[in-house]
Amino acid sequence: MNPGWRFSRVSPRFKNREATQGEFFAADTELRALIRESVQNSLDAKRPDCTGPVAVRIFLSGETHALPRTTAKSYFKGGWPHFRSENNGLRDVPQKDEPVRYLVFEDSGTTGLTGDVDQYHEVADVRNPFYYFFRAEGQSNKSEADRGRWGLGKFVFPRSSRIRSFFAVTVRHDDNRRLLVGQSILRSHSVHEISYTPDGWFGKKTGQTGVQQPVEDAAFIDQFEYDFCLERNREPGLSVVVPFCDPDWTADKVAHAIADDYFHPILNHELVVTVEGPSSELVISADSIVDVVKTFSPVQQSLVNPLLELASWGMDRKLEGIPRLNLPDRTAAPRWSKKLVPQDIFEEVRELYSGYRKVALRVPLLVRQKGMDDQISHFDIFMEKAEGSHLKRPLFIREGILVSEVRSKLTRELRAIVCIDDAPLARLLGDAENPAHTDWNDSSSHFKGKYTNGPATLRFVKNSVAEICQMLARDPSEEDPRLLLDVFSIATDDTRQGFLVDYDMLKSAAEKARTGNPRELSGPSRPKPFRVNRRKGGFRIYFGDRRSERPECIEVRVAYDRRNGSPLRKYSAQDFHLEKPPIRITTTAANVEVLAGNHMRIEVIDNAFDVAVTGFDANRDLYLDVKLKEQDCSDPHSGPGAAGRKG
């Protein structure tokens, strides 16, 4: 039988469920989430016999190479009744005659999706990437040595398609079999009054077990590779095609995302990425990334180039040897103190730091996993004073992955990278990571209760840079009580206005006796570019202090507040959706774009801008995270963040 799409009918024996996995990645744009997760999966799938970097190719068809619907007909056979059904969760279903624009993601130097294609349930101690990629949900066969943990990263592919579907061609390195599979993740829906589950498969007719079978016909796969411009042929690895991807995606945007999130493994010769547009090709490698960044806008260059320079310097410093701090007390939870820094290293670092020169430090740390022997591990810090730096926190990089939203203590006038590559500590932090690999949380199910002094170890790493800077600032001859004002600004009312804490208040009683009484500090208040007011069942955002410049762009994330855990991370699509009733958005002198169910962007047109959002449950408190974007509103990576606010 010819390949086609098949969805399973709803069985009365099982409860209905809706796919919500994509919500784990709602904090990122769809393109950035796809880049982050797909490249990470490729790095984890590197073949043991591959001595060079993992190679990734990303191709955007644009209109030039879009597939005509007549040509694409055989690849969507049986699917359109489901893609066009009511209540299937799709909001922008392609038109009948619309060409198929698509994105291709291919890797090489990897294993491909190995394993028994007939397996349909988890089998203990059996490593089956094919099963976990296509047939498992929330399960992963990745080991603790891998970067991923949750088994959810693959959902970035259907999430990036307007029909929530993707195709995959894999060549397996162990048996050289070449397989073609398609998958779709909709909502429960009906076709001709028959109810279907969310999951659809493109492949051959089901076998005796009822499991959908992949296509293995060489002629069919050859034609598929030709039509979608694949370069897989017989090279082991994985090729993914995302049909009907966002038409606004461009090769330039892909290159920006690669440079932002994966500059470290590229500089470290672990990764090479080729980005192709309809009429362009860009190779991003250790030798070319600096030249590639020169093609970016001046603003983007000013953000990326200093990080490339600091990261490259840090890699060279590792080869030469890095000054090593003392190991924290083995008998207690790790905490920062001056005792951790040998005096000779402290004097050297203070001189380098105060002279605006780069500093490298290796920080040893004890990892105590319950039921296992304690292991001494370490992480590395590379930092430099940098006036006007856009970074308000250090960048944390775990085994090449940029963990972009770690909520560490704030720093000022500083550029810092914290690298965690040593296996024991990298494993601990990987267990604390959320599914999107953007933050560490001690309540993660993979982390909680697994380590002795686990939360304290997490805090020790998160706040390392701020703690070291605080030590350097406490030298009597160079004391700067305003170095970390953002860290020690205490709110005095619900408007989040604060007073500045005297630095001497942080000293011990003995230190106070030596240095005298704390002195009162004061400083001018900062004008607010916008204000947020709560109202019953909603909130309002409007122009703030007239002394401030009008903001160009504001991003807002909202969720119902919770007693435990992060409200934003625990947001559920069942709570509300900003584009769906009863939620109502009214605007004056502003444009609003809803980016996800609880995420919107405000483009400010005039000083009289006013945005009101109503319709929330009046009996529940709202949590708002409002971020000012200082640059172009269309740039999802620009601008600093503002504090969260409860209403």
- 322 and 457, same domain (yes or no): yes
Distance separating alpha carbons of residues 33 and 156, to the nearest angstrom = 6
User: Residue 173: which residues within 8 A CB-CB, separation 6 or more?
Assistant: 47, 110, 111, 112, 114, 236
| pLDDT average, residue stretch 67-85 | 94
Of 210-214, 344-348, 364-368, 409-413, the least confident: 210-214
- 500 and 430, same domain (yes or no): no
Q: Are 483 and 469 in contact (CB under 8 A)?
A: yes
Sign of torsion over alpha carbons 28, 32, 34, 37: negative
Q: What is the value of pTM for the model shown?
A: 0.69
Q: Which domain holds residue 396?
A: 300-473
| pLDDT average, residue stretch 606-622 | 86
Of 23-27, 347-351, 530-534, the least confident: 23-27
- Whether residue 564 is predicted with pLDDT greater than 70 in this model: the reply is yes
- Whether residue 367 is predicted with pLDDT greater than 50 in this model: the reply is yes
- 438 and 550, same domain (yes or no): no
For residue 637, what pLDDT band results from cuts at 50, 70 and 90?
very low
The per-residue pLDDT for range 382-407, each reduced to its tens digit, is: 999 988 888 889 999 999 999 988 98
Q: Where are the beta strands (DSSP E) in 189-325?
A: 189-191, 194-203, 237-243, 271-277, 280-284
Residue 4's H or E segment, with its range, is strand 4-9
Residue 409 lies in a domain: yes
The per-residue pLDDT for range 17-34, each reduced to its tens digit, is: 665 444 433 334 578 889
- 316 and 213, same domain (yes or no): no
For residue 633, what pLDDT band results from cuts at 50, 70 and 90?
low
Q: What is the pLDDT of residue 46?
A: 93
- Name the range with the highest mean pLDDT among 27-31, 223-227, 587-591: 223-227
Residue 224 lies in a domain: yes
- Whether residue 643 is predicted with pLDDT greater than 80 in this model: the reply is no
Q: What is the pLDDT of residue 647?
A: 40
Domain count along the chain = 4
Identify the CA nearest to 647 among candidates 528, 557, 534, 543.
534
The per-residue pLDDT for range 488-525, each reduced to its tens digit, is: 444 444 444 444 444 444 444 444 444 444 444 344 55
Q: What is the pLDDT of residue 114?
A: 92
Distance separating alpha carbons of residues 331 and 322, to the nearest angstrom = 26
- 326 and 469, same domain (yes or no): yes
- 435 and 538, same domain (yes or no): no
Q: What is the pLDDT of residue 415?
A: 94
- 232 and 310, same domain (yes or no): no
Residue 260's H or E segment, with its range, is helix 251-267
- 338 and 313, same domain (yes or no): yes
The per-residue pLDDT for range 407-464, each reduced to its tens digit, is: 888 888 899 999 999 999 999 999 998 877 788 988 888 898 999 999 999 999 999 9
Instruction: Tell me which amino acid residue 394 is.
Output: P
Residue 482 lies in a domain: no
- Whether residue 639 is predicted with pLDDT greater than 50 in this model: the reply is no
Q: Are 573 and 599 in contact (CB under 8 A)?
A: no
Tokens of 268: 């470290």
Look at residues 191, 208, 236 and tell me which one is the last residue of a structural domain. Answer: 236
Residues forming a β-bridge with 362: 324, 380
Average per-residue pLDDT for the chain? 83
- 307 and 336, same domain (yes or no): yes
Of 130-139, 458-467, 485-494, the least confident: 485-494
Identify the CA nearest to 483 among candidates 385, 349, 396.
385
Q: Report CA-CA distances (Å) from 259 to 262, 279, 496.
A: 6, 21, 35
Distance separating alpha carbons of residues 610 and 541, to the nearest angstrom = 6
Look at residues 214, 236, 258 and tell me which one is the last residue of a structural domain. Answer: 236
- 459 and 340, same domain (yes or no): yes
Identify the CA nearest to 466 among candidates 482, 451, 484.
484
Q: What is the pLDDT of residue 405?
A: 87
Distance separating alpha carbons of residues 598 and 578, to the nearest angstrom = 6
> Domain holding 618: CATH number?
2.60.40
Of 171-180, 195-204, 260-269, the least confident: 195-204
- 164 and 306, same domain (yes or no): no
- Name the range with the highest mean pLDDT among 260-269, 564-573, 583-592: 260-269
| pLDDT average, residue stretch 520-534 | 65
- 434 and 553, same domain (yes or no): no
